[in-house]
Amino acid sequence: MHQDSAAPKLHWDIFCRVIDNFGDLGVAWRLACNLAERGQAVRLWADDTSALAWMAPQGAPGIEVRAWTAPIDLTGITPGDVLIETFGCNIDAEFVAAYAKHTVHSGQPCRWINLEYLSAEAYAARCHGLPSPVISGPGRGLTKHFYYPGFTADTGGLLREPDLMARLAKFDRQAWLARQGVPWQGERLVSLFCYEPAGLGELLDTLASDAQPTRLLVTCGRAGVAVRAEVLNKNRRQPAWNRQDSLSIFCLPQLSQLDYDHLLWASDVNFVRGEDSLVRALWAGKPFVWQTYPQHDGAHAHKLAAFLDWLQAPASLRAFHQQWNGLGPSAAPPGDAQFAPDDWQLCATQAKARLQQQQDLTSQLLSFTAKIH
């Protein structure tokens, strides 16, 4: 355990609603583990905990997992010192009332944190840390604080375990691939974790026609379903599309969070989606392509553009992201939307180096809550 001597030991209640593909739960679990590893007591409430069976099969010391039922079961429960709402989930009035009562009786300050979604857009820095007085309901008189993760020093940072880089440095790629049953013969390895990207067909064609052999390591779930459907379609419409067998495909089982990190470290290029896997790809330091969660109002396009600006992405990487995310013709010349990971490596290396200069999210969050009086 990495005990943060500067931070008092507190009891944290983290609430999470599983909205889509367990990404929210993944972030909440990583946060819970980060806190527990630093000597904090954590109770994680989730309305669907089933994914933890494969995401974190061994559990973690210092974390109690509770089913977030409707109505919530508060039998024998005393609220903790810190209340975390992840991603705008609304905590039950009964729990808020119990927390308000607890702060009064214990004399503890109200440490109620709204942990927001990750974004490189300007509002993240502008709104990070702002107080929000509660003016109605059982929490009336309390104050929430907005906490924005981010990529710059004026935001709340990114989740990073204290020993992450040491583990990465010791990672044995060949041994891990052998344990997964991947018959690696030195070919380029590309990991694929995605929804149903607009550019999937083009990627498969590109890899199949490339002189460099590639093994595509496909994650379980929606990525696997999308790839199988695309391959069946190509086999039906253009049977010779992969006649040189330059592209081979390996479908992975469900991976724990630890082994998903290992997948990113083992691969030469990583395709990631959402929030949690994007952060882990940044720490891996390999070329990567990000699929944002598609939103009907087009907000994901702005989110992607802001991130690529922060990343200082070269033109080919920007154009490829546009194509991958189905965001229409890129402003770059058509030829720039090529798969060019060698050109993207420097960008990934520099981004990782910039982020390592910043304090991680959990350390910042401990400092932030300690200053609330």
H-only helix segments in the chain:
23-37, 52-55, 93-106, 122-127, 164-170, 173-179, 200-209, 222-237, 257-266, 276-284, 299-311, 315-324, 341-356, 361-370
Task: Tell me the sheet residues that pair with 288.
Answer: 270
**Which residues, at least 6 apart from 222, have a Cβ–Cβ distance to it below 8 Å?**
21, 194, 195, 196
Taken in order 69, 74, 77, 81, the sign of the CA dihedral is positive
Peptide bond into 314 cis (omega under 30): no
Cα–Cα distance, 149 to 119 (Å, whole number): 7
Asked whether the beta carbons of 45 and 15 are under 8 A apart, the reply is: yes
Burial class (CB in 10 A: 0-12, 13-18, 19+), 43: middle
Catalytic residues: 24, 275
Q: What are phi and psi of 288, to 5 degrees?
A: -145, 160
CB neighbour list of residue 98: distance below 8 Å, 6 or more residues apart: 74, 77, 78, 79
